[in-house]
Structures are given as C-alpha cells and as structure tokens.
C-alpha cells in the first residue's frame, strides 16, 4: 500500500456527489485535498471534510493552470461534470446535445493540458472521470437502446477515456513521468444529483420507482461513498498504479479494464 498521508490532491467538481465522496475518502486517509466547484456556497461540505476549496470553473484554462502550478498536486482528479438533458435525439438542439462536451470534455482537456504543460511533478497521477456508459457495445450488458436518452453523453465520456491514453503518449514521449488513468463507474449512481436525475427519468418511463429501476437494471445500488473509498484504494494500492482504466461496481473490487495495454504493441487484436 502507498501512504496517502500528506499527498496533495486536487478534485474538480468536489462540492457534491462523487467528487465530494472522493474528497471525504481521501481527506480521511490524511491527504491534503483541494476541492474545486463553481458555487462557493456549495463547497461548505468539502470544507467540513477538511478540504481547502476554490470557487471556479474547471473549464477555465487560466484557473486550472494556476491551480496546478500553485498547489503542485501529486494527484489531479478531473471529475467535474454537467447534468445531461434527458431527451430522445430528435428533441435535443445542439446546445443540449453538446452540454457534456462543453463541460466534461472541455474541463478534461484543460486539466490534462495543465498537467502536461506545467508540468506536474514526476510520479504525478491524473484521474479522468468517464462512465460505464462509454462501454456500450463493448460490454454485452449495456444495450444501446438503454442509453437512448443520453444524447452526447456516451461519446463525450468515451472521448475522455481516449484523451487519457493520448495524454499518456505525450507524457511518455517527453519522459514526464505523469500517469493518466480513467475512472469508470459502471452503474448509474442514484445517490448523486446527476444520477438521481437520470434514474428518475428512466424510472418514470418504465413506470416504476427509482430504487426498483436501479435494482432491476444493476441488481444492486452503488453508493457515492463506495466510489470515494475505491478511488482512495486505487491511489493507495500499488497494484493499480500502472493500468489506464479501472471500473467500479457495487458488489465487486476495483475492476481493471485497460491494464494489458502495451504502448509498444502495434498489433491489432486478432490479427496475429
């Protein structure tokens, strides 16, 4: 195990939901946590958990460059995410469809660039928040139809996953020693505002309650606190230092996803 005591961790979207759960879990391990969110009043829970707070927008490059330079984090967690308009594709205008791109992907790009340009210290880790929805068609239990109200969300979250790989390529090329990893919650988490909003819309369509909908779909409920604790485990356990993507499910340990990826391999799987 690695000791997280005294490690400096910056978390975007740290005021509520999964970000706040990570703030709590990491602060409980002795990390020096800095939480970023746009609304100063909403950051009080993070403060109560022992975090320093910064009110600001994670898509703002000037802010993120300054934070990475000044706070010199050992770990940067790019978690900030927008709420999605839950409508069929023919009822979303471009602004609605691109909501997640304009927040999550933009904040991901800005955060990754801040980490690479500053650069963060050697051995630094950047965790990029994706979603199990990004595994649609790759994981048999996620049918595309079940995500039909998601608009641009799925592609945006898959894009963030690819961006972590691209950032690793730059880090290796420049010998920066910064490692980019992807967090993949593999269940809808109704205990956050975003998760509750999506679960409520889906439950209404199926004519059931939120808990029944989530239980039918996943067989269990994943709580924000469990994600927070698993992220602390991911950062504290040497077994998870080198892989690129890791999944979280309620009734399982951390699931290694892109761990067998080798930067030197040019072979397309199945062609040899």
Ligand X SMILES: NC(=O)c1ccc[n+]([C@@H]2O[C@H](COP(=O)([O-])OP(=O)(O)OC[C@H]3O[C@@H](n4cnc5c(N)ncnc54)[C@H](OP(=O)(O)O)[C@@H]3O)[C@@H](O)[C@H]2O)c1
Closest to ligand X by CB, 193 vs 252, is 193
Residue 99 engages ligand X in binding (rule: CB under 6 A): no
Q: How far is the CB of 4 from ligand X (least distance, A)?
A: 21
Q: How many CB atoms lie within 10 A of CB 37?
A: 25
Q: Which stretch binds ligand X (CB under 6 A): 66-74, 164-172, 190-198, 212-220?
A: 190-198
User: For 11-50, what is the HEC assignment?
Assistant: EECCCCHHHHHHHHHHHHCCCEEEEEECCHHHHHHHHHCC
Interaction residues for ligand X, span 29-48 (CB under 6 A): 36-39, 42
**90: its two tokens:** 């023919």
Q: How far is the CB of 227 from ligand X (least distance, A)?
A: 8
By C-alpha distance, which of 26, 133, 134, 119 is closest to 72?
119
Residue 195 engages ligand X in binding (rule: CB under 6 A): yes
Torsion from C-alpha of 236, 241, 246, 251, nearest 10 degrees: -40
Interaction residues for ligand X, span 207-266 (CB under 6 A): none
Q: How far is the CB of 16 from ligand X (least distance, A)?
A: 4
H-assigned helices in the chain: 17-28, 44-48, 61-71, 94-97, 99-100, 106-117, 153-173, 193-206, 210-218, 224-236
The residue length of the chain stands at 272
Task: Among 73, 81, 124, 152, indicate the residue that binds ligand X (CB under 6 A).
Answer: 81
What whole-number distance in Å separates Cα of residue 69 and Cα of residue 162?
A: 25
Residue 203 engages ligand X in binding (rule: CB under 6 A): no
DSSP letter (8 states) at residue 268: P
What whole-number distance in Å separates Cα of residue 101 and Cα of residue 84?
A: 10
Q: How far is the CB of 270 from ligand X (least distance, A)?
A: 29
Query: Which residue sits closest to ligand X, CB atoms considered?
Result: 17
Task: Among 111, 124, 152, 185, indicate the residue that binds ligand X (CB under 6 A).
Answer: 185
| Number of residues this chain uses to bind ligand X (CB under 6 A) | 32
Q: Which stretch binds ligand X (CB under 6 A): 12-20, 25-33, 211-219, 260-268?
A: 12-20
Q: How far is the CB of 122 from ligand X (least distance, A)?
A: 27
Residue 189 engages ligand X in binding (rule: CB under 6 A): yes
The answer to whether 255 touches 246, Cβ cutoff 8 Å, is yes
Site of interaction with ligand X (CB under 6 A) = 12-13, 15-19, 36-39, 42, 57-59, 79-83, 103-104, 107, 129, 131, 185, 188-189, 192-195
């Amino acid at each position: 195990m690695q000791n997280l005591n005294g490690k400096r961790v910056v978390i975007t979207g740290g005021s509520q939901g999964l970000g706040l759960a990570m703030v709590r879990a990491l602060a409980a391990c002795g990390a020096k946590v800095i939480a970023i969110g746009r609304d100063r009043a909403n950051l009080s829970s993070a403060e109560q958990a022992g975090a320093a707070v910064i009110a600001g927008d994670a898509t703002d490059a000037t802010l993120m460059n300054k934070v990475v330079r000044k706070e010199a984090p050992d770990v940067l967690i790019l978690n900030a995410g927008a709420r999605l308009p839950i409508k069929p594709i023919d009822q979303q205008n471009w602004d609605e469809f691109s909501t997640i791109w304009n927040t999550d992907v933009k904040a991901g790009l800005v955060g990754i660039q801040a980490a690479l340009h500053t650069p963060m210290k050697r051995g630094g880790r950047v965790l990029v928040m994706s979603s199990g929805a990004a595994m649609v068609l790759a994981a048999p239990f996620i049918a595309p139809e079940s995500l039909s109200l998601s608009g641009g969300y799925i592609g945006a979250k898959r894009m963030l996953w690819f961006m972590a790989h691209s950032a690793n390529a730059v880090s290796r090329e420049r010998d920066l020693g910064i490692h980019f990893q992807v967090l993949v919650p593999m269940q809808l988490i109704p205990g956050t505002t975003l998760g509750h909003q999506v679960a409520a819309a889906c439950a209404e369509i199926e004519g059931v309650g939120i808990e029944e909908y989530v239980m039918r779909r996943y067989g269990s409920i994943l709580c924000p606190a469990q994600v927070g604790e698993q992220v602390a485990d991911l950062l504290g356990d040497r077994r998870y230092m080198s892989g690129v993507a890791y999944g979280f499910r309620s009734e399982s340990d951390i699931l290694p996803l892109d761990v067998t990826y080798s930067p030197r391999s040019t072979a397309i799987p199945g062609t040899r």
